[in-house]
Amino acid sequence: MASSTELIENIVSEINTPSPDVPPLYETIDPGVLAEFVNSVEDESTTIMFCYCGHEVTVRGDGEVMVARRTPP
């Protein structure tokens, strides 16, 4: 089971930006909802995606965090 704190730490780590330089995650997505998603989804391959700090963040049902820098159109 992943806590919202663990998920936030993983996301900030993947973005590779010092924590003080990123806005609070709760301004983009509710961390509690994110943790609830990871802890309740039955299919581990189910994902939730959102944009954060110029990156596309994908969180899988198993808690894996994937981050890709968004490229301008």
Task: Indicate the pTM of the whole model.
Answer: 0.77
Q: What is the mean pLDDT of the chain?
A: 82
Residue with tokens 């609830």: 36
Arithmetic mean of pLDDT, 5-21: 76
Among 17-26, 49-58, 63-72, top mean pLDDT goes to 49-58
Which of 32, 24, 73 is closest to 53 using CA atoms? 24
- Say what the pLDDT of residue 22 is: 79
Whole-angstrom distance, CA of residue 64 vs CA of residue 57:
10
- Say what the pLDDT of residue 43 is: 86
